[in-house]
Amino acid sequence: MPITCSRCGSAADEMAQPPMPTALGIQIQRSVCPSCWQEWLRTQVMLINEYRLNLVDPEARKALEGQLRAFLNVPADRPE
């Protein structure tokens, strides 16, 4: 199904499946193009390394999710 990417604004087909098995993954699938998702994956690695995030820590995961939402322009309270 075609979408308009929330990050770059381009029209693209949505990802074949959600990138994560969560409600956020479905939200990303419906609003982010595959190209911007790949760009996020590269950025995520840099953020984890730069800030030395321990993803076992819930606070670190919460901080990374905040960065993801800001990077992809995905709001936290989006009605379905």
Predicted structure pTM score: 0.88
CA distance 68 to 73: 8
Please name every residue paired with 12 in a beta bridge, in sequence order, or none if there are none. 3
CA distance 11 to 1: 10
List pLDDT tens digits, range 13-58.
999 999 999 999 999 999 999 999 999 999 999 999 999 999 999 9
Question: Domain 2-72: which topology?
Answer: YggX-like (1.10.3880)
Find the Cα–Cα–Cα–Cα dihedral 58, 59, 64, 69, rounded to 10°.
Answer: 100
DSSP E strand stretches across 1-80: 2-4, 11-13
CA distance 78 to 11: 20
